[in-house]
Structure 1
Amino acid sequence: MKNNINVMNKIVCFSFFLVAFFSCKHHENEYHSITDKIEAESKDYHGTSISSEAYIGEIQTIEITEGDHTFLIPERKSQIKSYACTECHSKPLSQMKSKDLKKAHWDIKMDHANANTMNCVTCHNPDNMDDLKSLTGNEIDFNTSYNLCNQCHTKQFEDWKGGAHGKRIGGWAPPRASMTCVNCHDPHKPHFESRWPASFNTQKVKERE
């Protein structure tokens, strides 16, 4: 009797194995899920792999990892025409505040937060002007200036890491390359000005007056 039970158990187990094995067999172009289909189809699309590399072009990028996300961002320091800052800031700021020195950065007007909350050295490192600094005094590289922004703009930063906030470079296919905060926002005046839509209905404006 015991032997019969063992035989039956083996038959049942083998039957389950056969069902599982053959259920995984698919005809051509059949997949377990839409994710499997996307991955399989994108490997060889009309003789070429789908990639955004061609559309990123000659933009110089660096790779970063934030949490579970690894992606490319534009290299920034080479794009700042007045970098390196120490070419002019050869002395501490306190020593450069003189009437005898030519005033610089006259064209920059702060419109980020009120003067009681923020001034130049809130973000710029007075001890090393080639770097930015965090609220706790840690140095932040200009290439990763988003680490300065995320101290206050935490929600936007989390959305940006996951790809929901900000503009992609090239397209949605890998490799992912994303603009950073300063590629879209002026850090000294980050809000966007109000503007009319591209197609402006003047008749509706007259009707509403």
Structure 2
Amino acid sequence: DRNRYGLSHFHVRIDWPIADAAEDLARHLRYISKDIHERGDKYAEDIQKKFFEYYCLPVMIGGRRTAAIVAAQYLKRLPCISTVYAGSSESRTLIRISERGVSKAVLMRFSEKELEQTGRENGLTLRAVKRNYVVENNGSGKDCLCIFQATYDYTVHSRPPEDGKLREIKPDLSWQSVGGQHILPLPGVYRYPPLPFNVIYS
């Protein structure tokens, strides 16, 4: 019996658009004046790594998330407001990239005790929290599935310098920090705000 193979998933990473988008970002942030290779190959590699960090992604991944950040960088060239969404089955997240920055939403389990305490801190009963924030609940006392969102802020190193002068990339300095962490209300619920809930420590 012959072996049979089926191609179900594949990852593609095309280097040229990534380098072009990274070069565009580095010029904007004044880490280069013109060309990504003007300070050598090692510096160009650092720029590309920082490009991924700028959009809160692991270095040099492929697939839809990379396509999304390249698209987001290209859209910055246009005189309009744009938002790019990318879903990832690998990381199980929905990424949103806009002029306000990057956010990631994920389905996360919370205990009833955690939700009750969070609700109390925000003037809500457990019943109101369950009705307006819980995607799935398997019964009283069981964990609840909610939409958790983390938003990220740019640091001084990932913003254009105030004096407009050229500067040098320092790979060890962080370009992102956690700005906000919230449990989101269900889609279609507008009366209730996102609830602060810290699970990421940075």
What is the TM-score of this pair, normalised by structure 2?
Answer: 0.29
Between Structure 1 and Structure 2, whose CA radius of gyration is higher? Answer: 1
What is the TM-score of this pair, normalised by structure 1?
Answer: 0.28
Whose strand fraction is larger, Structure 1's or Structure 2's?
Answer: 2
Whose helix fraction is larger, Structure 1's or Structure 2's?
Answer: 1
Q: Give the structure, 1 or 2, with the largest relative contact order (CA under 8 Å, sep 6 or more).
A: 1
